[in-house]
Amino acid sequence: NENLTEMMDNDIYTKSFEKKFLQTAEDFYCLKEFPVIESNDKMLEYFKLAIEYVDYEINQAKTYLPEEKPTLIVLLETIFFPTDIFNIFVEKLQLIVSDENKYQELAALFDSIRKLPKLKNELLKSIETHVYQKAIESITDDLINNPLFYIETIVNIHGKYLKLIQETFVGDQSFVTSFDKGYAKFVNQNLLSKTTGITMTLAEILARYCDTLLRKGKAVENDDWNEKLNNIMIIFNYLNDKDVFMKFYQKMLRKRLIDQLSVSDSYEESLISELKVSTYQMLILLLFNQELIWTLEQIQDKTHIRSELLLDIFSSLLKNKLLICGDHFTLISRIELAENFISDKIRLNLNLPFKPNEQKDRNHLVKAAVDERQMIIQAALVRIMKKRRTLKHSLLIREVIQQLASSFKPDISLIKFELLAALCSISNDIVSKALLDIQNNQLVTVELLEEDDLQSQVEAMVQLVQATAYAQLTSFLRFVQMIYRSNTLVSALGTNAVAQIGLGTVLFSPTYYVYPYIFYVDPSYALSCTEKIMVTPAVFYAQPLDTKYYLSSIRNLSRWMKQLNIFKSAANRTVDDIKQQRISTYCFLILFAGSILCLFLFNSLKSQTITIIEKNPSLTKYNQLQILYPDTLTCPCANTTMPYKTFVSLSPIFHQVCSSDLMNESWISVLSNSPNEDVLRGAWIGKAAQYFGLLSSICQLANLTASDNILGFFARTFVTSYVLIETDFNIQVNTAVKQLTESTVISFNLFNIMTRLLIQADQPVIVSPKQNSQVKLDYINTTAGTDNPQALHFTFVFNTVLKNRSKNIMCQCVVDPNCQGPINFAIENTFGVVLLPGYYPPVAASDYVAPGLIDACYTIDLLLLSTLQCFYTDSDCMNQLFYYINTTYPSAGNDSNLYAHPLIYNQTSTRFPPNTSVSSIVEEMMIEQWNTSLSFSNYYKACAPTYCTYTQITHAETFSELLVTLISTVGGLVMALRLITFQLVKIIFGLFQKKPKKQQQVRRKLLDRLKMLLSKLITFLSVKMLNLNIFRARTFGSKIDRITVKHLGQWSTRLYLILLSTIFIILTLYTAIQPQTLTKSFSTPSLNFYKNLMNDHSDELECPCSLISSPYDDYVQIQPIFHQICSSNLISNEWRLNITANLISNLSAYNHRDYRLFLSTHLQFLNGLCQLSMQTVNQSIQQSLSSLMITKQLLSEENFNLHINSMINEAKSNAPSTFIRLLSLLRATNHGNAIVSAYGTNYQYK
């Protein structure tokens, strides 16, 4: 194995040879003598000698080393150039570099310096610094006054020093790189701004330099342009702020093109071509730096470029003969780099556009034809089903084929409702998500449930998920349907509106209200317990004492105490013996009394914590215990999970308009009969039915949305293992309710915002039988004459709103989504008769200005941007409305049920003043207050605790128990003290007793005395142990003589002690050897203490949680980072208005291929998508973090992280799916209903 052999050789070399070899070389050269550096000549002599040794070692090493080892070079450089000498040479090199006249000397030294890496690095730093400083010195005062000449000056600096570096260092790339660093530092420092205070950056100056060269008025020859172009690219390549340059360049380019100020299209194209390099071509050409020959298959493996695209890229490179290939161009063809490549052109543009082949064009045409057929099929399906209502599938297919037989024979697979298919796909996605939610839901229970209870809980959960999934689709569909109907969007299927050709204009009208001869529009669209311890002072009752008797008793007691002797012995009756016995008695009594006192105090003061259990506590009892034992009271719940509906009541109160007469169908029906003039002239009364119909639909949808979400919330479960105190209960439940209300409002607004966003982006054509129709009619000269349909040309125009009547200022809806202006309340008089569309007789509008009512682009805007101020009692607007109704329909005045009562403003019952915009009310879902009510008693009943526990600190023993303890201890204590006290006193007396000294006795040393005393003590104890008798004589009876009794007592005592010791030893050994399972409990352990326990007892450790459920936001934070486009100025309103300021006000004048037509809308739509995505993601994060993490035991850190990461991944998948689902559903409904866009990009009239 060659690789293994090489590894072994390197390992042997490093361990066995290199270390000794380097040490030998160092020892050898340290003995060499080198000249002392006293002058430049000596320095040069030293340097030549060092280089000679270095060359020798390098050449020798090549003969016996497998490869050049850098460790040898480093060692030699360290030996020959220690720190002091190295610094001298560095200073010398810096002086040479700073003097450009000495660069020939530097070039002569370069071949030697490049062998020494450390010295070469210092030279590179000197070059970088020198270039930077010299470039700064080249900026003179005249450049400050001429910023544009700044570019040509810094280009000259680049050429001068780059040439000097290349000639001196023979093109060494490392020195060119060092030059680039110094020059780039100089270029991007923006010296001009620092010296003059001018705020222009170099990027802007370069863009202005380009603009000056490319504008008319400055003639630039072709050769000069090539030089200027080269100068631009030199600075551009060093520029850090290329994005800033591109922004300025694009702005100036647009201005040159719009104002037709460009000096040459070829110059413009050449600069743009230089600024973009094809990445794919560069990637391929860089491969030929490695090998000169490649196959197409190898290049594809390296670059991972698709084969079709790779062939297009190579066609450009092969066409320019930069690469050479054989006749047959296949995956195994050998491709070579043309080393002798020569071109007649000074610059060769390799970035040629790739031409699509004919097959791609053919596929595109086929796809376009299929799409057109699909549209025709959809229109036929809608027409047939609107007519037949109910039809079998086979008959539907047959009828579609019959209707379309004259045009084409439709493929049966294409005869399907696209909208229905899209709804099925979206529904499938929602159901799949619902099934995943069921799998991820946790069933929490303390005890094993019976099968019936388990079945009921599972069914309730499934019903909840079903209802939630159903509401996700239907609520949005209802909202979209409401928007379509209220705004009367035109469908290209021709099923709801038709275009009428009149006197030079075209009007849109509902299909079922169009008459063939006279124009009459009926705008009634298909809207459609305490404890107290008593403590009393103790009273001691006594009679007066006789003083003489009292003193006499004290004397007798004292005399008796002096005579007391419990250690009396017949054998020891001397004065000293009796003295010892009485002292022993006193010591005995003192020790006995002290022991009893200590024992009494210890047992009487010892306390214990006891746990008290209260069975089946009532709520009243629980409240009493909570007051007395707030820190220790715990009541486990029999039911750990309970639905919120058990103890929460939610009754939202909607804005009074939702329950007012203004929302009645009869009232809306009256308003739908507006005169033709009001409809034609766009008076508010002509739109009143749509206004109130849309408002009624929003109220119904808000009510339905609130009801669905409240029902879903009531079906959710509240998880708790113990009864919460009322304060914590209120906090947790109110938090859950708040999250419910906020998420409901956000979801409701999400529908509204996304729908309005797509309306703004698509600019749908609306049914508009008024003067400013969105379809214009032009006539085209044809050979058949103007009466031929081919002479008619229809174009769409964008909706506009008259913003200012006096100045006749129009607002373009495509540019400003909030266009609004004054609106006529009604049309009073009409002079003339309407016979044809497009003929508008003179009219007189009402002078009445209704407060809060405005004109806007669409009906939804007309409603949301207005206020309800007009419909309150303090306004005469309702009187005006009744007047026009009575004038138009006198018969309606006879029916009082048809009239609506105005709204009444009561500041105490509403949070919306009359001048509040409808959009602000809709943003709150038309809800005044949610009217939340919590019941702690119902929660307590649902929790149903079977017992409560609390702890008390009490005395460990009662008085009777203490008395029994003392009595049981007295016997053993008396015996132990009798045995110890007398002997101890006797020993002490013996130590301090003075003995007569004999004259011949020599005073012993202290150590000898101690030894003697210890010997006597041992002898004394052994004698005492042999003579010890703890059994009284009567134990053995009265028939045995005293000597025998004495011996029996002594032997019995010895046997007793032996047995006692044996038993004690056996018990000790048994206790020490017998294994036991010890369970330890630690209350409220800290985190560090828990970690220590986890390290030592990971398998046995159990830590029950005080709360089995807790919201994720207690310990998890999620901060989404959105695409940088969402935080850039590119989509800001200020930038959008600035970039579109110079566009034509009527954008309809632009061609479909002119991007200026779509620029404003695309920026608005991108901004709206960013805002919607942020709202959707933040709502999803909030819902995930507000959900509960349920665990009975404390999880280990590893398991905790796994659980949290799983939750985060689920949240990450939910957020985009919700957003994409809504967007897809809205796009599907738009496409399925064939909504016509005013851009004319999807449908046109022919």
**pLDDT for position 243:** 64
pLDDT tens-place string over residues 937-947: 999 999 989 99
Question: How far is 879 from 848, CA to CA, in rounded Å?
Answer: 11
Torsion of CA 1146, 1149, 1151, 1155, to 10 degrees: -20
Q: Are 768 and 525 in contact (CB under 8 A)?
A: no
Residue 17 belongs to some domain of the structure: no
Check which CATH number belongs to the domain holding 326 and give it.
Answer: 3.30.230.130
pLDDT tens-place string over residues 708-757: 889 888 888 888 888 988 888 898 898 889 888 888 888 888 878 888 88
Do 345 and 450 belong together in one domain? no
pLDDT at residue 841 greater than cutoff 60: no
**pLDDT for position 4:** 42
**pLDDT for position 956:** 64
Q: E-strand spans in 511-551?
A: none
- Closest to 420 in 3D by CA, of 1235, 1236, 1232: 1232
**pLDDT for position 993:** 62
Q: Work out the average pLDDT over 1114-1118.
A: 86
**pLDDT for position 295:** 83
Residue 1161 belongs to some domain of the structure: yes
**pLDDT for position 1244:** 75
Residue 1053 belongs to some domain of the structure: yes
- Closest to 624 in 3D by CA, of 939, 935, 948: 948
Return the minimum-mean-pLDDT range out of 197-211, 251-265, 911-925: 197-211
Residue 403 belongs to some domain of the structure: yes
Return the minimum-mean-pLDDT range out of 179-183, 258-262, 263-267, 677-681: 677-681
Do 1163 and 1211 belong together in one domain? yes
pLDDT tens-place string over residues 125-171: 888 888 888 888 777 666 655 666 778 888 888 888 788 777 777 76
Q: Are 220 and 213 in contact (CB under 8 A)?
A: yes
Do 1140 and 1177 belong together in one domain? yes
Question: How far is 681 from 824, CA to CA, in rounded Å?
Answer: 9
Q: Are 866 and 854 in contact (CB under 8 A)?
A: yes
Domain boundary (406, 436, 461) is at: 461
pLDDT tens-place string over residues 765-785: 887 655 567 777 766 554 444
Percentage with pLDDT > 90 across the chain = 6
pLDDT tens-place string over residues 1189-1218: 777 788 888 888 888 888 888 777 777 777
Residue 1059 belongs to some domain of the structure: yes
pLDDT at residue 382 greater than cutoff 70: yes
Cα distances (Å, whole numbers) of residue 209 to 160, 183, 223, 225, 252? 21, 20, 18, 13, 11
Q: Are 1036 and 1045 in contact (CB under 8 A)?
A: yes
pLDDT tens-place string over residues 1097-1114: 887 888 888 777 778 888
Check which CATH number belongs to the domain holding 396 and give it.
Answer: 1.10.10.10
pLDDT tens-place string over residues 302-340: 777 766 677 777 777 777 778 888 666 666 778 888 877
Q: How many residues in total does the chain contain?
A: 1246
Do 346 and 379 belong together in one domain? no
Q: Are 243 and 159 in contact (CB under 8 A)?
A: no
Query: Containing domain of residue 315, as a range?
Result: 285-355
Q: Residue type at 467?
A: A
**pLDDT for position 649:** 92
Long-range contacts, stretch 1213-1218, CB < 8 angstroms, 24+ apart? 1214/433, 1214/1180, 1214/1183, 1214/1184, 1215/1120, 1215/1176, 1215/1177, 1215/1180, 1215/1181, 1216/1177, 1217/429, 1217/433, 1218/1176, 1218/1180
Residue 876 belongs to some domain of the structure: no
Do 395 and 298 belong together in one domain? no
Q: 1081 versus 501: which is more confidently predicted?
A: 1081
Domain boundary (421, 443, 461) is at: 461
pLDDT tens-place string over residues 649-699: 999 999 999 999 888 888 888 888 776 666 667 788 888 888 898 999 999
pLDDT at residue 833 greater than cutoff 50: no
Do 1197 and 1139 belong together in one domain? yes
Could you tell me which residues are beta bridge partners of residue 800? Answer: 812
Spatial CB neighbours of 1053, under 8 Å, sequence gap ≥ 6: 1028, 1029, 1030, 1031
Spatial CB neighbours of 1170, under 8 Å, sequence gap ≥ 6: 1122, 1123, 1125, 1126, 1131
Q: How many structural domains are present in the chain?
A: 4
- Closest to 1185 in 3D by CA, of 637, 742, 647, 641: 742
Cα distances (Å, whole numbers) of residue 627 to 725, 946, 1022? 11, 19, 67
Residue 755 belongs to some domain of the structure: no
Do 1204 and 1113 belong together in one domain? yes
Spatial CB neighbours of 941, under 8 Å, sequence gap ≥ 6: 619
pLDDT tens-place string over residues 1050-1067: 888 888 888 888 988 888
Q: Residue 644 class from Cβ within 10 Å (0-12 exposed, 13-18 middle, 19+ buried)? A: buried
Q: What are phi and psi of 948, to 5 degrees?
A: -130, 145
Residue 853's region, left for phi above 0, alpha for psi from -120 to 50, else beta, is: beta
Domain boundary (405, 437, 461) is at: 461
Long-range contacts, stretch 1158-1161, CB < 8 angstroms, 24+ apart? 1158/1239, 1160/814, 1160/815, 1160/1136, 1161/760, 1161/761, 1161/763, 1161/814
Residue 487 burial (CB count, 10 A): 22
Question: How far is 511 from 1061, CA to CA, in rounded Å?
Answer: 116
The mean pLDDT value of the chain amounts to 76
Helix and strand totals (H; E) in the chain: 40, 23
Q: Work out the average pLDDT over 1120-1142.
A: 87
Q: Are 192 and 186 in contact (CB under 8 A)?
A: no
The residue whose two tokens read 């214990």 is 608
| DSSP symbols for 643-684 | EGGGTEEE--EE-GGGGSGGG-HHHHHHHTT--HHHHHTT-H
pLDDT tens-place string over residues 578-626: 777 778 888 888 888 888 888 778 777 777 778 889 899 999 999 999 8
Spatial CB neighbours of 1101, under 8 Å, sequence gap ≥ 6: 1093, 1094
Cα distances (Å, whole numbers) of residue 1049 to 261, 569, 1024, 1062? 137, 18, 13, 20
Do 1157 and 1118 belong together in one domain? yes
Do 323 and 375 belong together in one domain? no
Do 342 and 380 belong together in one domain? no
Q: How confident is the model at residue 1002 (pLDDT cuts 50, 70, 90)?
A: very low
Do 1227 and 1110 belong together in one domain? yes
Question: What's the DSSP call for residue 830?
Answer: E
Residue 763 belongs to some domain of the structure: no
Do 307 and 350 belong together in one domain? yes
